[in-house]
Amino acid sequence: MNRNEKILIVDDEKIVRDSLFHWFENEDYIVDTAEDGETALRKFDKQKYDLLLVDMKMPGISGLEVLKRIKEAEPETIIILITAFASVQTAITALKDGAYDYVTKPIDPDELTHLVRKALEQKALKKEIVTLRESYSEIIKPDNLIGESIQMKKIFELINTVAPTDTSVLIRGESGTGKELVAKAIHINSHRKYFPIVHVNCGALTEQLLECELFGHEKGAFTGNHSKRRGKFEMADGGTIFLDEISAVSLKMQIDLLRVIETGQFSRVGGNQIIKSDFRVIAAAIEPLENLVKQGRFREDLYYRLNVFNIVIPPLRERRNDISLLANYFLKRFAAAMNKPVMKISDEAMDFLEKYDWPGNVRELENAIERAVVVGKTDTIQVADLPFHVSSNSFESDDGDKSLSAVEKKYILKILNENNWNISRSAQILSIDRVTLYNKINKYGLRNLA
């Protein structure tokens, strides 16, 4: 066994020093000796030792004095005292002053070795705990939450600020920017991390289904229901509930949401029992909720309850410095998953990726790299391997409108046409659910002209 722990043996008897030196050297420790307390303190000042074996009675500076001085300088140093005249009082004094333990002469080498090993193992464990705590002080991020741009560093700073609290958080950002990843980062950096984060896509469910999804239902609550079911708020007890696409919730459901968020209490659909749940709320929206409040489509009181702490995730086109970092991350991940020898992205392909506007944001980039890994024939991704051959302005509308809604409208229409208006396939490519896609088709008045 190779050890790198340093032991200093301090004893005025040469025979004791030498025998302990050889004993612990044979145990693969790094061993040094000192014949008195003054020499020990000088040596300790020049280099640090993990453990000291110190004779209690020595001429000049006593072992107890050595113990006090070293503990003042380095409290974590382990000191085991050696005495020929053990008494209850000296033992109490030594332990009060910080000694790990004491042994009496004549020394049993096996007993002392066991004591030293146990002490050093405990010290290593404490050091590991400190290291883990320090590492946890750094933000823990889900794999895909990647970025070194100024904008992403600000996002990480905001996550680090709000995570330790129970404050409600509203996350804003375009589709595909990573709102769910930010929610997960907040959760796993909070004191609730050992409990679940429960995701509810509010835009994918009708009002009745959403009510049952959030609050659960009792047996017989509606026709065809033969069993009781727990709701998401109940499942999130102790953890976090993530309400995605919160803007899609009806005004009636908004009242119910406000009540449960304020009280932490609710009843299952078809039941009267009051259920209590301790949860944190994180909500996400694509469009600004304040605009919906002005339009009378979102309750002002619920808006203020959710918008205690606000995080806005920038679109990928506004943090182009992160594109190469994300692209290479996705490349390594998909190449490993598909067992393909893809090693890099060509300069031309990377230049194309960095100039493209990414209306689908990080999710679209991820899908593009996955497709490129699938179709690529060499170990280098080329422009031809990418799922589009368009300029960075390809999603500008015909009248030059560069607004987000115009870009989204044209991009959705492009995907629908490419997939012969197969709603399921198009929704999968866009990484949204079918209900959301139908809502957007109606919103933009899209029509299948084929």
Which tens digit of pLDDT belongs to each residue from 172-202? 999 889 999 999 999 999 999 999 999 999 9
Spell out the residues 6+ positions from residue 96 whose beta carbon is closer than 8 angstroms to its own. none
Distance CA 8, CA 17 (A): 10
Q: Which two tokens stand for residue 445?
A: 């008045």
- Kindly report the CATH number that applies to the domain delimited by 317-444: 1.10.8.60
pLDDT at 392: 41
Give CA 245 to chain center in angstroms: 22
| Selection from 310, 278, 313 nearest residue 169 by Cα | 310
* Beta carbons within 8 Å of 252's beta carbon, 6+ residues apart: 207
Domains 6-135 and 150-314 share a fold: yes
- Tell me the angle at which helices 251-263 and 207-215 cross, rounded to the nearest 10 degrees: 10
Give the pLDDT confidence of 10-66 residue by residue, as tens digits. 999 999 999 999 999 998 899 999 999 999 999 998 888 999 999 988 889 998 899
Contact 368, 387 (CB under 8 A): yes
> What is the rounded average pLDDT of the residues 233-244?
95
The size of the chain, in residues, is 450
d(CA 335, CA 33): 56
Please report, as a single letter, which amino acid is at residue 372: A
The answer to whether residues 264 and 279 touch, using CB atoms and an 8 Å cutoff, is yes
Residues 199, 192: contact at Cβ < 8 Å?
no
Phi-psi region of 213 (alpha: psi -120 to 50; beta: other; left: phi over 0): alpha
And the tokens for 357? 């506007």
- pLDDT tens readout for residues 372-406: 998 888 889 988 888 764 434 444 555 556 566 67
Q: Which residue has the higher pLDDT, 97 or 130?
A: 97
Q: Tell the CATH topology of 6-135.
A: Rossmann fold (3.40.50)
How is the chain split into domains, by residue range?
6-135, 150-314, 317-444
Q: Is the pLDDT of residue 223 over 80?
A: no
Considering only residues 138 and 16, tell me which one the structure prediction assigns the higher pLDDT: 16
Q: Check: CATH 3.40.50.300 for 150-314?
A: yes
